[in-house]
Structures are given as structure tokens and as C-alpha cells.
């Protein structure tokens, strides 16, 4: 731990917050449903193996990832249970699916035939398109879906779909979700009727679990909510349960300098000191995932429980902060870019608002260069 804090920039993961979120989400699960956390994109920047290990320890034994190599990383990190790949895997990697016991999503009928032609038995979940029009065989093409079930080398262990409305706090969006659910169960019912074996079905992601859990299913593929966030502050406030942010993003202040009124700082001298200014250099930049669009005071960090606005342009490895009004700031202090310090807090949703995106993007872009530890 001590050694760790000698680092320049790092992520702290709160075990207590993660456990809290798991318990909150588990309290919402419909009958016969368990969590299948989405740990894709390095667990939304948190660190996939670290998060999945914590979840394994909490008794969670199903995960979803986006790619075959994300699945392999989990296995090499000792993660047990079912790992479902949500996205495309090239047929040449079928041997890896077998070797690492990964479950592949069937994207459509044509893709099923390609994988089947590899001649190695793999576990698959068939994705049905019920309106998102991204991945999935159309739920209306029952013949084609039946032919996927008939593929000799594909062992179908699940069927699922995905809701296209992300904010299910709005009644009209809930309506659309329920319509998708109906279309999904209609297709599933028909397939069962004609003799297809369907061990597991699933539909819900975070928003669905929070606001439409009556849609049911055997897995809830919760991602963002598990990390204690939702995509926006507005959704977070309307979640209905208290979600606690798991991640804090911190950097060391490596030096503090004073510049005189009228002097500039940073690339292009975009910052011009209107007064004598004390500037702290934080050892973190856009190469670590600090959005460059936070430059010139759009964003800030917290130092000693006070807000320190970003000065000039965020650089690849460094960010300048105005600490003129933070009297005791010293060059060994920590700057908190996401997380709490004293009474103040900056959430990933706050950063998302400042940079006109969603917290999911802010978090998933946090670089592998950052050290990560569970506290």
C-alpha cells in the first residue's frame, strides 16, 4: 500500500461501495434472476480482474464482457463462472472460446453458420433483436432462430435481448421496454413450443433492473449501476435505490509554483493570470483519461477539500490546477479528479456533464496506465 502511494496517478476502488451496490441491486432482482455484471471495457475503467474477483468473493458467478480477449483476461486472472461475450468474435478464435470456457453471443443466423462451420463445440447465447436494431437475429425470423438451435456444434445455453431506451424513468420509455419484453417472450414461447431447449433468458441492464424489473429473466446484466453511477446525474437521483460510487481517481501534486499577474501558463499560454497565482502540477493528463475538454477551467480537481480549477490546457501527462485560494496546499498533496475530498465531491456524472457525455464514457476511457487498488 505504501509503495502504491508513491505512484503518480491512481484509481481507488471502494470494496464497501461495491458490496453496497451489489446488495441494493440484488434486492431488486425478479424471481429466479441473478446478477451477470457487465465488466467490459476493463469494468468501465475500474479494472476488470480486480472487480470480478471482488464479485466472485460476493458469490457472483456470471459476467459479461465485450470481447474474447476481455474474457481471456478474466480467466487468466482466476475468475470463475460463466463469462458471456456480448460482441463479435472472429471464427478463427473459436479455439480460444473452447480453451477458456467462454460463451459466445450469436449475432444473427449467418454468424451462427460461420461459427458452426468451425466444427468445435462451443456454448452460445442467441441474441434476438426486439427493436434496438444493433445485434441479434430478428425475433420475427423464427425459422432462422430455430436453425441456429439446430446447429450441431453450438450448445445454446441462453437467449437474450437488449432494451434500446436507456432512461427508463420516463413512462413513454418504459412503455417501449415493456413492448420489447413482450416481443421477446413471444418468440421464446414459440421456440419452446416447437421443442427448442432454452436454459436461460435475459433482458435487463442497469436501467431495466432499476425501473422495469417486472420484465424478469434469469440474469440482469448490470454495468454502470454496479459501479455506483448511472449515465447522468439526473438518472442517478431518480434511481430509487442509493448507489455509491466505487471509483476515485487521484493524482499526486508534484510541484507548486507561483506566477505573477499577467503571466501565462501551459501550452499556448491559454491561461493568463489575472492575479498572482499559485499553480499546482498534478501528475495526470489526457493520456490517463482526463478529458482534454476539461481544459481552461471547465473542470476542476479537489485539493484539501477545496475546488481547484483546471488551468490552461490539460496535457497528456500533467494537468495544472489553480490552488491560489487553498492556503496550505503542498507538493505532496493529492488532487482528486473523481471522488470525495472533505465535504466536496466530483462524480463521474459531473465530469460527464462538463464534457457533454455520459459517465460510462468518462469511466471506460480511464487508461490502463493508472494504478488500481481496492481499499
Ligand X SMILES: *Cc1c(COP(=O)(O)O)cnc(C)c1O
Task: Kindly state whether residue 24 participates in binding ligand X, applying the rule CB under 6 A.
Answer: no
Restricted to residues 138-167, the positions that interact with ligand X (CB under 6 A) are: 162
Instruction: Count residues binding ligand X (CB under 6 A).
Output: 12
- Distances in Å between the alpha carbon of 15 and those of 81, 199, 320? 20, 32, 31
Q: How far is the CB of 219 from ligand X (least distance, A)?
A: 10
Closer residue to ligand X in complex, CB, 225/349: 225
- Taken in order 21, 26, 28, 33, the sign of the CA dihedral is positive
Q: How many residues does the chain have?
A: 375
Task: Give me the catalytic one of 40, 200, 250, 278.
Answer: 40
Q: How far is the CB of 108 from ligand X (least distance, A)?
A: 15
Task: Kindly state whether residue 212 participates in binding ligand X, applying the rule CB under 6 A.
Answer: no
Task: Kindly state whether residue 128 participates in binding ligand X, applying the rule CB under 6 A.
Answer: no
Show the beta-strand stretches assigned E in the chain.
9-13, 34-35, 62-65, 82-85, 103-106, 122-129, 137-138, 154-160, 200-202, 219-220, 247-259, 264-265, 271-272, 277-282, 300-303, 306-311, 319-322, 334-341, 344-346, 371-374
Task: Kindly state whether residue 224 participates in binding ligand X, applying the rule CB under 6 A.
Answer: yes
Q: How far is the CB of 105 from ligand X (least distance, A)?
A: 8
Task: Kindly state whether residue 38 participates in binding ligand X, applying the rule CB under 6 A.
Answer: yes
Q: How far is the CB of 51 from ligand X (least distance, A)?
A: 13
Could you tell me where the DSSP H helices lie in 27-122? 40-44, 48-57, 68-76, 94-99, 109-116
47/71 Cα distance (integer angstroms): 13
Among 89, 104, 206, 334, binds ligand X (CB under 6 A): 206
40 flagged as catalytic: yes
Task: Kindly state whether residue 39 participates in binding ligand X, applying the rule CB under 6 A.
Answer: no
- Enumerate residues 6+ apart whose C-beta is below 8 A from 313: 266, 267, 268, 270, 292, 295, 296
Task: Give me the catalytic one of 5, 192, 237, 267.
Answer: 267
Q: Which stretch binds ligand X (CB under 6 A): 11-19, 220-228, 260-268, 327-335?
A: 220-228
Task: Kindly state whether residue 221 participates in binding ligand X, applying the rule CB under 6 A.
Answer: yes
- Strand-pair category, 62-65 with 82-85: parallel
Restricted to residues 55-114, the positions that interact with ligand X (CB under 6 A) are: 86
Binding site for ligand X (CB under 6 A): 38, 40, 86, 162, 205-207, 221-225
**Would you name the residues annotated as active-site residues?**
40, 267
Amino acid at each position: 500500500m505504501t509503495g502504491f502511494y508513491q505512484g503518480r496517478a491512481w484509481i481507488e476502488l471502494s470494496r464497501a461501495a461495491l458490496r453496497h451496490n451489489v446488495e441494493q441491486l440484488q434486492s431488486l432482482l425478479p424471481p429466479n434472476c441473478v446478477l451477470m455484471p457487465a465488466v467490459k471495457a476493463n469494468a468501465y475503467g475500474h479494472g476488470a480482474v480486480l472487480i470480478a474477483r471482488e464479485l466472485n468473493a460476493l458469490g457472483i458467478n456470471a459476467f459479461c464482457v465485450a470481447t474474447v480477449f476481455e474474457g481471456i483476461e478474466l480467466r487468466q486472472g482466476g475468475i470463475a463462472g460463466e463469462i458471456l461475450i456480448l460482441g463479435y468474435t472472429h471464427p478463427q478464435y473459436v479455439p480460444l472460446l473452447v480453451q477458456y470456457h467462454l460463451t459466445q453471443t450469436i449475432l444473427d443466423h449467418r454468424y451462427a453458420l460461420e461459427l458452426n462451420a468451425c466444427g468445435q463445440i462451443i456454448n452460445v447465447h442467441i441474441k434476438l433483436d426486439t427493436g434496438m436494431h444493433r445485434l441479434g437475429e430478428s425475433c420475427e425470423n423464427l425459422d432462422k432462430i430455430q436453425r441456429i438451435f439446430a446447429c450441431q456444434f453450438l450448445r445454446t445455453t441462453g437467449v437474450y435481448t437488449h432494451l434500446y431506451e436507456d432512461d427508463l424513468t420516463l413512462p413513454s420509455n418504459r412503455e417501449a421496454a415493456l413492448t420489447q419484453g413482450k416481443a421477446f417472450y413471444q418468440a421464446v414461447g414459440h421456440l419452446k413450443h416447437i421443442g427448442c431447449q432454452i436454459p436461460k433468458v435475459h433482458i435487463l441492464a442497469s436501467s431495466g433492473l432499476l425501473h422495469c424489473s417486472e420484465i424478469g429473466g434469469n440474469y440482469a446484466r448490470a454495468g454502470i449501476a454496479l459501479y455506483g453511477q448511472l449515465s447522468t446525474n439526473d438518472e442517478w437521483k431518480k434511481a430509487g435505490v442509493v448507489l455509491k460510487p466505487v471509483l476515485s481517481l487521484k493524482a499526486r501534486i508534484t510541484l507548486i509554483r507561483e506566477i505573477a499577474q499577467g503571466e501565462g501558463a501551459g501550452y499556448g499560454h491559454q491561461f493568463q493570470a489575472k492575479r498572482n497565482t499559485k499553480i499546482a502540477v498534478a501528475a495526470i493528463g489526457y493520456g490517463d483519461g482526463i478529458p482534454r475538454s476539461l481544459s481552461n477551467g471547465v473542470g476542476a480537481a479537489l485539493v484539501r477539500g477545496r475546488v481547484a480549477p483546471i488551468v490552461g490546457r490539460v496535457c497528456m501527462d500533467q494537468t495544472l490546477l489553480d490552488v491560489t485560494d487553498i492556503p496550505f496546499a503542498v507538493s505532496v498533496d493529492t488532487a482528486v479528479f473523481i471522488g470525495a475530498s472533505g465535504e466536496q465531491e466530483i462524480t463521474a456524472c459531473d465530469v460527464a456533464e462538463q464534457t457533454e457525455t455520459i459517465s460510462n464514457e468518462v469511466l471506460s476511457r480511464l487508461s490502463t496506465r493508472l494504478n488500481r487498488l481496492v481499499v
